Structures are given as structure tokens and as C-alpha cells.
């Protein structure tokens, strides 16, 4: 994966734990950015089955669980507790923050709770594959990169919970950041969900509250990989 504005080296240098926050539609592509040892929350749904083999290839740890359905706990509470322990040990976490059932782009409070309990920064990423299949009838238009394609990963500024900030408010900041990234770097796909379009004025609070860590002089700068000059090729799957 070609990464852009990647903050992870600076976070690691500062000893700051972090959690990847991705959209459910992007979970297959975004996991390509995760380093070995990352603990990933995976739903017990059929969608979850798609990503488990990829996690194992990437030497990441799947943590299985889903949100409640008709009042029945599908393992989400236990999975979140396991992920809290995982991140607290210093290893990254990974969540599809609007899954497993959406609405698409609506960030649930689990990632905010995980960040508060562990003190971790939330690292947002939107991957854009040069060639991909899109499951057009899925609730989120799940994207699957095609073999041998190029994936560009666009990072937002890392976010942390403000003092006194509610979980709901923090979840909305994460939501705005992901929406902004998708609108900037994959506008054609973002246009399928116009209700998510976030005006620039709504993004400002999220940027202002971002973690600002000055890298040491020896730290590597941000990726200078050139941006793709063409729109990614898409193939709509029935």
C-alpha cells in the first residue's frame, strides 16, 4: 500500500498507542496497512468471514464479535473487552467503525470507548484501490481490491478524546474525518451517499482537536508517494 500523510512513525516514536478506524466498506483494503500484531474486531457475519483469512496472512489477530441483535448479545462486549486488553498491551487495534450493519458512515461509540479506556489515538484511513470490485447491493457497497492493483491509503490526523468530551461527540468527530477523507480522495464513491457529505465548517473542530506531536529531527517525514492521477477503475458486482 502507498501511504499518504501517515502519522504512525511519529506516534510510535512518542510511545502513543493507536487504533485504526475504517469504514466497513473499506475493511478488506485497509487491513493492508495494518502491521503484524494488530488486533482487529471482526463481526460474526458473512462479511467477517471474508476478512479473517486476510488477517491471518497479514499476521493480525482476529477478535470475533458483533453488536446486539434483537436484544441478544452477539459477542460484541467480550470482543471489545479483549480488544481493550490488546491495545492496552501496546499493540494496535482495528475496527470497522460503522459495522456490522450501518448505517453506512455512521460511526458507533465502540471505537470512542476503546480510545477512552486505553488512551489510544484514533488513526483514520481511507484506502482507494486502482481496480476493485464493488458489491453494489450491499448496504455499504463493500469494496474488494482486485489482484495486483495499487492501493493508496490516505490518513487523517490522529484524534484523541478531549477532556470532558462525551463518547457520542468523539464518535462524530471521527465520522466527520472519515467523511472528509472519502470526499477528498474517492469523491465518486462518496457521491453514492450524499447524506454523509460534510461541509468544511463541520470538519474544523475535528482538525483543531487532532493530536499534534512534533516529530524528532531523526523521524521520517510523511510519504512523498505521488497521488494517482486517474480515478480508480470500478466493477460493479451484482
- For residue 9, what is the DSSP state? H
CB atoms within 10 A of CB 212: 9
Confidence at residue 48, expressed as pLDDT on a 0 to 100 scale: 73
Q: The C-alpha cell of 158 is what?
A: 490522529
User: With b meaning 16 or more CB within 10 Å and e meaning fewer, what string describes 163-183?
Assistant: eeeebeebbbbbbbbbbbbbb
Assess contact for 27 and 33: CB atoms under 8 A.
no
Q: The C-alpha cell of 73 is what?
A: 448479545
Q: The C-alpha cell of 212 is what?
A: 499534534
Q: What is the spatial distance between Cα 199 and Cα 191, in angstroms, rounded to a whole number?
A: 14
Q: What is the spatial distance between Cα 81 and Cα 63, in angstroms, rounded to a whole number?
A: 10
Domain spans in the chain, listed from the N-terminal domain onward: 2-209
Taking the alpha carbons of 178, 176, 18, 140 in that order, is the dihedral positive or negative? negative
Antiparallel, parallel or unpaired: β 61-64 and 93-96: unpaired
Name the pTM for this structure.
0.80
Q: What is the spatial distance between Cα 55 and Cα 149, in angstroms, rounded to a whole number?
A: 19
Tens place of pLDDT per residue across the chain (238 aa) = 999 999 999 999 999 999 999 999 999 999 999 999 999 998 776 767 788 999 999 999 999 765 555 555 556 788 899 999 999 999 999 999 998 889 999 999 999 999 999 999 999 999 999 999 999 999 999 999 999 999 999 999 999 999 999 999 999 999 999 999 999 999 999 999 987 654 444 433 433 344 443 443 333 333 333 323 334 555 655 5
Name the burial class of residue 43, with classes exposed (0-12), middle (13-18) and buried (19+) by CB atoms within 10 angstroms of its CB. Answer: buried
Task: Please report the beta strands in 80-216, taking only residues with DSSP state E, as ranges in sequence order.
Answer: 93-96, 121-129, 131-135, 143-145, 151-155
How far from the centroid of its chain's Cα atoms is residue 145's Cα? 16
Q: What is the spatial distance between Cα 158 and Cα 55, in angstroms, rounded to a whole number?
A: 23
Amino acid at each position: 500500500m502507498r501511504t499518504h500523510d501517515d502519522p504512525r512513525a511519529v506516534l510510535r516514536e512518542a510511545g502513543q498507542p493507536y487504533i485504526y478506524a475504517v469504514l466497513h466498506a473499506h475493511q478488506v483494503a485497509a487491513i493492508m496497512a495494518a502491521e503484524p500484531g494488530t488486533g482487529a474486531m471482526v463481526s460474526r457475519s458473512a462479511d467477517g468471514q471474508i476478512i479473517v483469512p486476510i488477517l491471518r496472512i497479514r499476521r493480525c489477530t482476529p477478535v470475533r464479535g458483533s453488536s446486539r441483535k434483537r436484544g441478544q448479545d452477539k459477542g460484541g462486549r467480550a470482543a471489545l473487552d479483549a480488544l481493550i486488553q490488546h491495545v492496552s498491551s501496546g499493540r494496535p487495534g482495528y475496527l470497522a467503525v460503522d459495522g456490522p450493519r450501518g448505517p453506512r458512515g455512521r460511526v458507533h461509540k465502540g471505537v470512542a470507548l476503546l480510545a477512552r479506556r486505553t488512551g489510544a489515538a484514533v488513526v483514520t484511513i481511507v484506502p482507494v484501490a486502482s481496480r476493485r470490485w464493488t458489491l453494489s447491493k450491499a448496504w455499504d457497497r463493500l469494496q474488494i481490491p482486485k489482484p495486483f492493483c495499487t492501493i493508496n491509503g490516505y490518513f487523517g490526523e490522529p484524534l484523541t478524546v478531549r477532556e470532558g468530551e462525551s463518547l457520542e461527540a468523539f464518535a462524530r468527530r471521527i465520522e466527520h474525518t472519515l467523511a472528509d477523507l472519502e470526499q477528498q480522495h474517492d469523491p465518486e464513491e462518496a457521491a453514492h451517499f450524499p447524506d454523509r457529505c460534510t461541509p468544511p465548517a463541520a470538519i474544523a473542530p475535528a482538525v483543531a482537536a487532532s493530536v499534534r506531536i512534533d516529530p524528532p529531527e531523526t523521524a521520517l517525514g510523511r510519504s512523498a508517494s505521488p497521488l494517482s492521477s486517474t480515478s480508480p477503475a470500478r466493477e460493479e458486482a451484482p
